[in-house]
Amino acid sequence: MHDLHPNQASGLRLLKPARPVRVIAVTSGKGGVGKTSVSVNLATAMSIAGKRVLLLDGDLGLANVDVMLGLQPSCNLSHVLAGTCTLEDTLLEGPASLMVVPASSGKQHMTDLTPIQHAGLIQAFSELSRPLDTLIVDTAAGIDDSVITFCQASQQVIVVVTIDPASLTDAYALIKVLNREKNIRRIQVLTNLANSESEAREIYENLRRVAEKFLDVTLSFMGSLPQDEWLKRAVRRQRAVVEAYPNSPSAKAFRELAAKADRWSLPLGARGNLEFFVERLVNRPAEGATV
């Protein structure tokens, strides 16, 4: 793993999958907006609907997807990079047969991976043989390299925001980096903890007006999540609200969001040299691939 070159596309030649995998990054400009809760419940809602879903904890240094689901990993992505286990060894089963890849918590070196270490993750994912419909990546918050890399590697990017002015300011900063430095031009915006649908729309419109005025980007309103005491109870119980309290307002909202995400168009091909699920996640192998 440690001898890999960062540009690994030529080395990741796998059999053509029956269908492409939808890759979704869930991210935010700042912490505390409910990003991981969105990732966990969106992934669980898709699994309950019968999709084969893998949830990757992409907050490499402050991981908590496993904590939110009450899972106890024996190894995680830090062990994969160290070569002491395979990606397959890290897989945990969550609710409704959801597959989870845990990351590490409190490991400073995981937040500052070298290009060769990123290539190690590329190789690890290329060797994962589980059939998948959707891969959801719960990134860290902010504009660190790992956040940008995961977003660039995804076909869809969901930015979670709240009414907090700092949330909107930091979301704009993240969108600016993704657009100007990585040429990502379409981004989904999901508002959380809104008091009403009209407030959620206003939050989105404020961000959209500024972003589309100064950037070459198109923002889409994915939807909103209400303030819901049932969601707080589910968090305390370390369970997904869609599984623990399926009739709650937030569970209904997550099911609607999952259905909407499932209607997004599937990828037709890899989009650039950092799309690290390369031939594994596209509808046709890259030119020169062995099939």
pLDDT at 291 over 80: no
pLDDT at 201 over 50: yes
pLDDT digits (tens, 9 = 90+) for 26-44: 999 999 999 999 999 999 9
176, 62 Cβ separation under 8 angstroms: no
219, 187 Cβ separation under 8 angstroms: yes
Query: What pTM was computed for the model?
Result: 0.84
pLDDT digits (tens, 9 = 90+) for 33-82: 999 999 999 999 999 999 999 999 988 878 889 999 999 999 888 888 77
Q: Would you state the pLDDT for residue 13?
A: 35
What integer is the mean pLDDT of 110-121?
65
CATH number 3.40.50.300 given to 24-281 = yes
By the 10 Å C-beta count (0-12 exposed, 13-18 middle, 19+ buried), 262 is classed as middle
Q: Would you state the pLDDT for residue 146?
A: 81
Q: Would you state the pLDDT for residue 259?
A: 97
Alpha-carbon distance of 55 to 26, in angstroms, equals: 11
Q: pLDDT confidence of 290, banded at 50, 70, 90?
A: very low
Q: pLDDT confidence of 132, banded at 50, 70, 90?
A: confident
